[in-house]
Structure 1
Amino acid sequence: MTIPATVLERFPKLDPDFVTSRLQRPQGPARVIIDTDTANEIDDQYALAWALLSPERMNLEGVTAVPFSFIHHREGMLRSVEILKRGGPGNAEEEKFMGGFAGWAQRIVDSGTDPESIKFVLPDEGAELSYQEIVRVFEHCGVDPEGMVYRGSPAYLSDFDSPLDTEAARFIIERARAEPEIPLYILAMGALTNIASAVLMAPDIIKNIVLVWTASFPSYAPFCNRPSLNLVQDKLASRLIFDCGVPHVYLPGYHVGAQLSISLPEMEQFVKGKGAIGDYLHHLYTHNPLHKKYVISQPETKTWVIWDIINVAWMFNADYVSTHMTQSPVLDEDLYWQHPAHRHPMLEAFDVDRDAIFEDFYRTLGKAP
Structure 2
Amino acid sequence: MIMNDRMIPQIPPTGEIMRILIDSDVATEIDDLYALTIAFGHPERFLIEGIVAAHFSGNGPSNSKKLSFELLKELLQKSGMEGKFPIAEGSHPMQYANTPNDSEGVDLIIRKAMESTPEDPLWVIGIGAATDLACALLKAPDIVSRVRYVFHARSEHTWPDRNEQFNVYGDIIAAQTLLESEVPLIWFDTGTHICASYEETEEKLAPMGDYGKFLHEFRDRNAWFCQSDKGFFDMGDFSFLYQPDWGRYETVETPEMTRFMHFKHTHRHGKMMRVYDIDVKKTWDLFYEAVNNLRKGV
Corresponding residue to 2:123 among 166, 185, 190? 185
Partner-residue secondary structure (3-state), 2:293 = coil
Partner-residue secondary structure (3-state), 1:140 = helix
CA shift at 1:266, angstroms? 1.8
Sort the Cα spacing of 1:185 and 1:147 in 2 relative to 1 into closer, same or farther, 3 A: closer
The corresponding residue for 2:24 is 36
Partner-residue secondary structure (3-state), 2:105 = helix
d(CA) in 1 for partners of 2:25, 2:270:
28
d(CA) in 2 for partners of 1:129, 1:146:
21
Corresponding residue to 2:53 among 60, 65, 72? 65
Q: Which runs of 5+ in 2 are unaligned?
A: none
Partner-residue secondary structure (3-state), 1:68 = coil
Partner-residue secondary structure (3-state), 1:173 = helix
The corresponding residue for 1:266 is 200
Tell me the alpha carbon deviations over residues 54-78 of structure 1, each in whole angstroms, 9 at most, x when there is no partner. 11211100000100126x6xxxxxx
d(CA) in 2 for partners of 1:211, 1:286:
33
Partner-residue secondary structure (3-state), 1:204 = helix
The corresponding residue for 2:146 is 208
The corresponding residue for 1:315 is 241
Sort the Cα spacing of 1:221 and 1:14 in 2 relative to 1 into closer, same or farther, 3 A: closer
CA shift at 1:160, angstroms? 2.7
Q: Does residue 175 of the first structure (1) align with residue 175 of the second (2)?
A: no
Tell me the alpha carbon deviations over residues 258-284 of structure 1, each in whole angstroms, 9 at most, x when there is no partner. 011111222022211222221111012
Partner-residue secondary structure (3-state), 2:102 = coil
CA shift at 1:287, angstroms? 2.5
Could you tell me whether the CA contact under 8 Å between 2:161 and 2:262 is conserved in 1? yes
Correspondence list, 1:15-34, <5 A: 15-16=5-6, 19-20=7-8, 23-27=9-13, 28-34=16-22
Correspondence list, 1:130-279, <5 A: 130-145=68-83, 147-153=85-91, 155-180=92-117, 181-218=119-156, 221=159, 223-225=161-163, 227-252=164-189, 256-279=190-213
Could you tell me whether the CA contact under 8 Å between 2:37 and 2:287 is conserved in 1? no
The corresponding residue for 2:263 is 337
Partner-residue secondary structure (3-state), 1:266 = helix
d(CA) in 2 for partners of 1:143, 1:354:
26
Could you tell me whether the CA contact under 8 Å between 2:256 and 2:266 is conserved in 1? yes
CA shift at 1:222, angstroms? 5.1
TM-score by length of 1: 0.74
d(CA) in 2 for partners of 1:276, 1:145:
19
CA shift at 1:146, angstroms? 6.1
Q: Which runs of 5+ in 1 are unaligned?
A: 73-121, 292-298
Could you tell me whether the CA contact under 8 Å between 1:321 and 1:353 is conserved in 2? yes
Which stretch shows the higher mean deviation, 216-225 or 133-142?
216-225
Kindly name which structure, 1 or 2, has the bigger radius of gyration based on alpha carbons.
1
Tell me the alpha carbon deviations over residues 111-165 of structure 1, each in whole angstroms, 9 at most, x when there is no partner. xxxxxxxxxxx75311001011111111111112365211111x21011343111
The corresponding residue for 2:275 is 349
Could you tell me whether the CA contact under 8 Å between 1:214 and 1:310 is conserved in 2? no
Tell me the alpha carbon deviations over residues 187-221 of structure 1, each in whole angstroms, 9 at most, x when there is no partner. 10010111111111011111111111111424972
d(CA) in 1 for partners of 2:266, 2:221:
45
d(CA) in 2 for partners of 1:195, 1:365:
28
d(CA) in 2 for partners of 1:192, 1:310:
17
Sort the Cα spacing of 1:266 and 1:175 in 2 relative to 1 into closer, same or farther, 3 A: same
Sort the Cα spacing of 1:193 and 1:165 in 2 relative to 1 into closer, same or farther, 3 A: same
d(CA) in 1 for partners of 2:38, 2:111:
25
Q: Which runs of 4+ in 1 moved over 6 A?
A: none
The residue type equivalent to 2:286 in the other structure is D
Correspondence list, 1:63-142, <5 A: 63-69=51-57, 123-142=61-80
d(CA) in 2 for partners of 1:183, 1:60:
13
Sort the Cα spacing of 1:165 and 1:14 in 2 relative to 1 into closer, same or farther, 3 A: farther
Q: Does residue 45 of the first structure (1) align with residue 15 of the second (2)?
A: no
The alignment-based identity, stated in percent, is: 26
Partner-residue secondary structure (3-state), 2:37 = helix
CA shift at 1:53, angstroms? 1.5
d(CA) in 2 for partners of 1:203, 1:220:
31
Could you tell me whether the CA contact under 8 Å between 2:51 and 2:87 is conserved in 1? yes
